[in-house]
Structure formats: C-alpha cells, structure tokens
Amino acid sequence: MAIPQNALIDTAEVFHFEFWLRYYFIAERDGNLFIELTEEQIKQMQAQFPDYWELVERVQGRPLSPELSQQSVVEFLQLNLESGRYPSNTVVKVLDSKEFSVEMYLFDTWVDLHEEQLMQKIYGFDYWMHAFKEWKGSAQALQLIQNLQVQMQEERGAMN
C-alpha cells in the first residue's frame, strides 16, 4: 500500500528540522551536548517555526543522545501528525517505508555534499529546505534517485 506523499513530506521535514537544530545549536557542557539557544534565537524560532517549537522544547536543556532525538521526534510526530491530520498508524507506515529511507538518504547526501557551505554561517531552516529541494531537482540528485529506485525494485523482486 502506498503511503500518502504529503505524510511522507511532513514526516521527513520534522526529522530535517531536528537535524538542522542539532547541526547549528549544539553546545558542550559538563561532557554532554545540549541544544543551546540565545534569547534572540528563541524568539526567532517561535515566530518562524511555531509548528516545530514544541519539538525544540522537548530537546532543549536535556543532554542530547540518539535516543532522545528519536524519542522526541517520534512523539512529536504522533501528537502532531496523527492527531487528526492523518489516519492512525500513518507515521509508522511512513517510517517503515522505502520512500522515507530514500528521502533521508538524499537529505544526508545533500548535507554531506554541502557541509562546507552550510558551516560558513547559520542558515535558516527555510533556506535548508529550499536548497535541498532545488538540489533534488539537479541531474546529480535525479541520477541518485533513479539508482535508488532501481535498487528498491531489485530488492522487491528478490523478496517475491
């Protein structure tokens, strides 16, 4: 069964936002990593990304770990996407889908390819999403997507 494309996009964007947050706003204290925001950054995020502010609050001030990130994102998705926006279990289906794996692979690839540029200054999340979307339309990305789709079809064929 195909997953709704808008659910895939919405789910992936939450993961992208959480990654962006960790990418720019990590500070080390007492041997632990934390999300650390200035008052100005807090005000900007609350104004620009009110839909994601709850996610920021879930991780801010707590020692970061892969488990905390995963738990915070999944809880956020369940509360905000599955409570009226999408049918029950949609997020689980998205997270288990090959399409989601491809989207996350593409995002990680984009970050890796553009890391030097992304580290020059703090770019806004809107910029990240715009630049990522543009890159996904590039010849390089389209070739990668095609290769991943062929690989997925071969895996499906091997399973049948």
Whole-number pLDDT of residue 160: 55
Is residue 1's pLDDT more than 60? no
Residue 75 and residue 54 in contact, taking contact as beta carbons nearer than 8 Å: no
User: Over the stretch 49-78, which tens digit does the pLDDT of each residue have?
Assistant: 999 999 999 999 899 999 999 999 999 998
Return the HEC string of the chain: CCCCHHHHHHHHHHHHHHHHHHHHCEEEECCEEEECCCHHHHHHHHHHCCCCHHHHHHHCCCCCCHHHHHHHHHHHHHHHCCCCCCCCCHHHHHHCCHHHHHHHHHHHHHHHHHHHHHCCCCCCHHHHHHHHHHHHCCHHHHHHHHHHHHHHHHHHHHHC
Whole-number pLDDT of residue 158: 67
Going by pLDDT thresholds of 50, 70 and 90, the confidence category of residue 159 is: low
Half-sphere exposure of 115 (CA within 13 A, CB side): 5
Q: Is 99 helix (H, G, I), strand (E, B) or coil?
A: helix
Residue 59 and residue 18 in contact, taking contact as beta carbons nearer than 8 Å: yes
Element (H, E) at 54: helix 53-59
Phi/psi at 28 (5° precision): -100, 130
Going by pLDDT thresholds of 50, 70 and 90, the confidence category of residue 110 is: very high
Give this prediction's pTM. 0.90
Domain residue spans in the chain? 5-159
> Which carries the bigger pLDDT value, residue 59 or residue 160?
59
Whole-number pLDDT of residue 4: 85
Whole-number pLDDT of residue 9: 95
- Rounded to an integer, the average pLDDT of 134-147 is 92
Q: What is the mean pLDDT of the chain?
A: 91
* Stretch among 19-28, 127-136, 144-153 having the lowest mean pLDDT: 144-153
